[in-house]
Structure 1
């Protein structure tokens, strides 16, 4: 492979090379350049970029830090300077374009969304197959529905160009759009349960995370508990309403099912996802959910009457697409997983580390 290596001059890069013709970027043990790895407060990530990434993750999960770190590594590498990674293979990009947060400009009479659209328009119109494109929190300055569609269209355009890059978002409705994508992968920033609370791991992983941790973040920042509780009530009401609307609006096979945790099965157009074979699939899933929930509640009631548990346990059903990660709130919880196959046969398993909550997973596989 053509390139040049300068390990002696750049001590943080044991094997740094500039690829003249490669369309791939590999960053081994990449870390945020503003943190000191010797103090142990930097999380090291391996970034193997072969395509565009759609990046999801909880609030404070490290999405923006990942974009900044990748951008800095690519820019420093192209300039022949030290790269904040143990090893780096960086293509010779013709352009590196980063869009973070847009602010309004009263002097120009433009809102923050107008500024964002102007900047992203410039970015999209100049991107080529040899560009690195990084967009943080795409289309967050306007109403959700139309912003989601604009974001989906932008992602389709970048996918068609074939550039490398990352588009981070909390607009999870993007995964429900009938997008045509051939050069896009789905990545997420991980999370785990620590002392009963969900905490980001700041580690890059495959899949999709649809849980935002908005309520937990607002509570942590001092938002009055009365407001948070009311917000949770409103969210549950909205989720139930959306679920009822979805079930009545779809007369044929459905591409996904909403629930209180915000996970939805992705459509087949986003990477060979599960496609129900017939219109009876929705009824099958609904029947299985009803039966499993009833069995769990009966068993839990029996344990409660025998005083084996101090209180009744909540049963929550969660739909998980073939390339999705379960929501962080399910980590370390008792779970029953049901794999619904294309031939409508079921595979059922269980994990019971803690009998506090039971999550029923409906996993779709081809």
Structure 2
């Protein structure tokens, strides 16, 4: 199925409010994206276009090639049914059972926010198993989710592809683009959405503190047991809690790719890694100093050689990266799709090398990116994107890090 210029049918196209998307579907899509990013809108639009198309009617798109589906099955958010004595999760499982029982390789299956009504860990595993089942059936469709733990499961899928609703940075804030892209988006915009609906600032600030603490532990768990490669450094952030104390020390680990003679490029990479480590250490101390918790952090900068690709562990993870151009100029950026960003840079710059560090969340990535853009030139490094450090509301002051007030 291929739909070009797909538009949400409830918008007036003439007013210019509708964002058009191209949907080319050969298998199941596992769709991620932030709150308000357009996941549900895309599902509804695809469903309407497919239904109208197989009926021989006009579809809300510029053009469309739609196969003759034997069934179109759409599951949206479930609600409980007191009359039947069933919870919302029971209702969802009942509907998913009906979909699985009736789906064939000629079906279109659309499931919005799968397994949202139960405990996260088991819900994630149930969702993963359901996705495997749809993959084996061979149906076309979209399954959207905020259960990012799915990407850590050893899923047995052959054809399922990862799609996301895109985001962009505007004045230091992450905004949805409502465009369908390849890859994984783990940015939920939950804090921004809650704040936009009137949740008090004190609650949002406390939620951000709790998120930083929890997300640090999650990153440690995700990376536990990862072996260090001999060709390039490995990335890991570890947080260890010691109650009734405050941050007192930060441990730094540097892994060298070779023990023999170091080239000028490798020497530059080591110097940049050392600078990044120092800035990030100070940032972490600033973030965690007010808390009555001592956290020993192990920071590792990872190199991606000129003909290497980022490891799978970077998929969907927030990272800050540095691109090393042949003329020794540096480019500093942040992304949730490191592989895609590396591919895009190399299409313009050739087989350049990179250095990256995984950080706990988009907000920290944006802050660290801006701090590096403003501080690396002061240490003698030449950057090609200095202007990017001027349109953020943090990191541009000449004051010390301890006196900065950061807005997330």
Q: TM-score, normalised by structure 2?
A: 0.63
2:80 counterpart (80, 91, 104): 104
Q: Give distance in 1, aligned partners of 2:95 and 2:334.
A: 46
> Structure 2: 5+ residue runs without aligned partners?
239-253, 258-265, 282-298, 303-309, 322-330, 343-351, 356-382, 396-408
Q: Give distance in 2, aligned partners of 1:212 and 1:351.
A: 30
Which residue in 2 is equivalent to 1:335?
A: 333
- Pick closer, same or farther for the CA change 1:208–1:132 going to 2, 3 Å: same
Q: Give distance in 2, aligned partners of 1:48 and 1:215.
A: 32
* Equivalences for residues 340-355 of structure 1 within 5 A: 347-348=353-354, 352=385, 353-355=387-389
* Equivalences for residues 19-168 of structure 1 within 5 A: 25-168=1-144
Residue 250 (str. 1) matches residue 250 (str. 2): no
Q: Check conservation: 2:277, 2:301, Cα contact below 8 A.
A: no
Q: Give distance in 2, aligned partners of 1:351 and 1:227.
A: 39
Q: Check conservation: 1:239, 1:259, Cα contact below 8 A.
A: no
Q: What is the total number of aligned residue pairs between the two structures? A: 289
Q: Give distance in 1, aligned partners of 2:101 and 2:317.
A: 36
1:354 partner SS: helix
Which residue in 1 is equivalent to 2:276?
A: 296
- Pick closer, same or farther for the CA change 1:245–1:328 going to 2, 3 Å: closer
After superposing the two structures, state which structure 1 stretch, 64-73 or 320-329, moved more: 320-329
Q: CA deviation digits over 1:85-141, x for unaligned, max 9? A: 111100000000000000000011100000000000110111100000000000000
Q: TM-score, normalised by structure 1?
A: 0.69
Deviation at 1:195? 3.2
Which residue in 1 is equivalent to 2:179?
A: 203
Q: Give distance in 2, aligned partners of 1:318 and 1:66.
A: 38
Which residue in 2 is equivalent to 1:186?
A: 162
1:74 partner SS: helix
Q: Give distance in 2, aligned partners of 1:300 and 1:104.
A: 46
Q: Give distance in 2, aligned partners of 1:30 and 1:71.
A: 11
2:73 partner SS: strand
* Equivalences for residues 215-254 of structure 1 within 5 A: 215-246=191-222, 249-250=224-225, 252=227
1:250 partner SS: coil
Deviation at 1:229? 0.6
Q: Whose strand fraction is larger, Structure 1's or Structure 2's?
A: 1
Q: Give distance in 2, aligned partners of 1:153 and 1:84.
A: 33
- Pick closer, same or farther for the CA change 1:336–1:36 going to 2, 3 Å: closer
- Pick closer, same or farther for the CA change 1:145–1:173 going to 2, 3 Å: same
2:66 partner SS: strand
Deviation at 1:335? 2.4
Deviation at 1:243? 3.3
Q: Check conservation: 1:52, 1:163, Cα contact below 8 A.
A: yes
RMSD (Å) for aligned C-alpha atoms: 3.7
Q: Give distance in 2, aligned partners of 1:257 and 1:96.
A: 44
Q: CA deviation digits over 1:260-279, x for unaligned, max 9? A: 9xxxxxxxxxxxxxxxxxxx
Deviation at 1:294? 3.3
Deviation at 1:283? 5.9
Q: CA deviation digits over 1:56-102, x for unaligned, max 9? A: 01110000000000000000111111211111100000000000000
Q: CA deviation digits over 1:128-175, x for unaligned, max 9? A: 000000000000000110000000000000000110000000001111
Deviation at 1:199? 1.2
Q: Check conservation: 1:239, 1:258, Cα contact below 8 A.
A: no
* Equivalences for residues 4-15 of structure 1 within 5 A: none
> Structure 1: 5+ residue runs without aligned partners?
1-24, 261-281, 302-315, 359-366
Q: Give distance in 2, aligned partners of 1:123 and 1:70.
A: 17
Deviation at 1:317? 8.5
Q: Check conservation: 2:165, 2:181, Cα contact below 8 A.
A: yes
Q: Give distance in 2, aligned partners of 1:318 and 1:70.
A: 42
